[in-house]
Amino acid sequence: MAPNRANLRMAAAPEHSRILLTHAIVVTLDHDDRVLFDAAVAVADGVIVAVGEPPADFEADEVVDLGGRVVMPGLYNAHTHAAMTFARGYAEDLPLERWFNERIWRLESALTPEMVYWGTLLAMAEMIRGGVVGFADHYFYMDRVAEAVTAAGMRANLAWAVFGRPDEAEVGITVPQTVDFVRRYNGAADGRLRAMFGPHSPYLCPDAFLARTAAVAVREHIGIHIHAAETAAQVQASLARYDMTPIEFLADRGLFETQALVAHAIHTTDVDLEILARKGVCVAVCPTTHLKYAMGVARVPDMLRRGITVVLGTDGAGSSTALNLWREMRLLVLTQRLATGDPTVLAGSWPLRLAAVNGAYALGFDKAGMIAPGYAADLIIVDTAAPHFQPLHDVMAALVWCTQPADVRDVMVAGRWLLRDRRLLTLDEATILAGFRAELERMLTRPLGQFKAYAV
């Protein structure tokens, strides 16, 4: 029998509204960057209510003794195409243009809503296991992604990718439909979902379409998630076509007049960075993809100096191959130190803060990403008992440099456990793998056509 959606909900997590975590190393990532030893965290109705000492009158439904393990905010993957797990390892060792034109967009011509559904479920199983509690997703058939996220219990910000070209019917959605999509899902799943517009990029979307999208976004108070300034060639083409860099062009067409999340922004001028800072644009860097496709190094220290909210993404598994934010953190620090010649860049808790509090903010969750009263109980427990953590001279350094996804023992989103003792509670892995494989097999038998031609 073919697996169906219904059996994913077989393992509903027991609901505890008041949870007390005790004997923990609490890495708060709060404004004072406090690390507390042998401390407690109290959670009530999905929100952190006390840190350090539990309130004397706190009556817990569940007490978890962490025995010296680390509890810290969960991580938010601020740019991905989750469903693209189906393209993991499908287009390796190619320049970006050939990766798009010869492999990925041809494969996507056979894409089905079912593949998006199962691919996203597989991605979430991987992400939850790696300590990711939320993600900003940019892809197609996003109503199926919303369905999958609702079942999984994660947070997500969903953007339906649109090209705005005459052949738009190929991807099955238009601007009015994306407005409907946003209205339907923004704030859904008990507030765990956010939705934005997802125009693909300034190099693939027509000028007039981008301006129209921006006008609707401003009028309807809808955010925008878009790719830009990924390669030097894109910047050159933009200068030739518009006499503006991609960032200047997006600003000029009004896309930064609403909350914007720009993926990549690798090739930027000082003027670009001033625009991004002034407009409060969040920039998602995806170090594995940037390095793997030799795209360049984003100017992260310059961005942070100007107050730009820099966030971390894995991009899709079709390019980065793994949805591992710990690896992205380390690659970010390593490339920035090599590029700047400064071994103090992104020191201490910086990488964790980009992935936690900055990531939550970019996804549209203001009160998440740190352990402080009033913040969402999106928590992960890291087991530091493994040899690769010993000795624990510096907890922050250990988390940044040593953590592997498999060290994440437990994951909680909005006070609900999604992972306990390495066991997924809301997703059934065997069902997901069977559904994913069956749909991928079907998809690979479909004739591949031409999708969008990538040309800057």
Provide the minimum distance between the beta carbon of 137 and Zn ion in the complex, in angstroms, as a whole number: 10
In the complex with Zn ion, the residue whose CB is nearer, 137 or 383, is 137
- DSSP strand pairing (18-27 vs 62-65): parallel
- Read off the tokens for 86: 């189906």
In the complex with Zn ion, the residue whose CB is nearer, 24 or 115, is 115
Residue in 428, 317, 420, 328 with CA at minimum distance from that of residue 19: 420
In the complex with Zn ion, the residue whose CB is nearer, 315 or 383, is 315
Contact string (CB under 5 A) for Zn ion, positions 277-316, x = contact: --------------------------------------x-
Residue in 83, 77, 11 with CA at minimum distance from that of residue 436: 83
Ranges within 192-251 binding Zn ion (CB under 5 A): none
| Count of residues of this chain found to bind Zn ion when the rule CB under 5 A is applied | 1
Provide the minimum distance between the beta carbon of 135 and Zn ion in the complex, in angstroms, as a whole number: 12
Residue 258 CB partners (closer than 8 Å, separation 6+): 214, 217, 218, 221, 222, 223, 224
Provide the minimum distance between the beta carbon of 79 and Zn ion in the complex, in angstroms, as a whole number: 6
In the complex with Zn ion, the residue whose CB is nearer, 272 or 315, is 315
In the complex with Zn ion, the residue whose CB is nearer, 264 or 409, is 264
Residue 437 CB partners (closer than 8 Å, separation 6+): none
In the complex with Zn ion, the residue whose CB is nearer, 19 or 115, is 115
Ranges within 177-196 binding Zn ion (CB under 5 A): none
Provide the minimum distance between the beta carbon of 84 and Zn ion in the complex, in angstroms, as a whole number: 9
Distance CA 107, CA 443 (A): 9
In the complex with Zn ion, the residue whose CB is nearer, 30 or 315, is 315
Provide the minimum distance between the beta carbon of 315 and Zn ion in the complex, in angstroms, as a whole number: 5
Residue indicated by tokens 């069977």: 434
Give, rounded to a whole angstrom, the gap between the first and last alpha carbons of the chain: 46
Provide the minimum distance between the beta carbon of 125 and Zn ion in the complex, in angstroms, as a whole number: 21
In the complex with Zn ion, the residue whose CB is nearer, 210 or 295, is 295
In the complex with Zn ion, the residue whose CB is nearer, 80 or 186, is 80
Provide the minimum distance between the beta carbon of 227 and Zn ion in the complex, in angstroms, as a whole number: 5
Provide the minimum distance between the beta carbon of 368 and Zn ion in the complex, in angstroms, as a whole number: 23
In the complex with Zn ion, the residue whose CB is nearer, 322 or 434, is 322
Distance CA 140, CA 331 (A): 28
Ranges within 315-354 binding Zn ion (CB under 5 A): 315
- Read off the tokens for 438: 């069956």
- Read off the tokens for 117: 């559904």
Judge contact between 312 and 324, C-beta under 8 A.
no
The region that residue 108 occupies, defined by phi over 0 for left and psi between -120 and 50 for alpha, beta otherwise, is: alpha
Gyration radius of the chain's alpha carbons: 21
- Read off the tokens for 195: 């939705």
Phi, psi of 198 (to 5 degrees): -130, 55
Provide the minimum distance between the beta carbon of 5 and Zn ion in the complex, in angstroms, as a whole number: 27
Provide the minimum distance between the beta carbon of 241 and Zn ion in the complex, in angstroms, as a whole number: 22
In the complex with Zn ion, the residue whose CB is nearer, 78 or 210, is 78
By beta carbon distance, the residue nearest Zn ion is 315
Contact string (CB under 5 A) for Zn ion, positions 383-402, x = contact: --------------------
Provide the minimum distance between the beta carbon of 186 and Zn ion in the complex, in angstroms, as a whole number: 21
Residues forming contacts to Zn ion in the complex (CB under 5 A) are 315
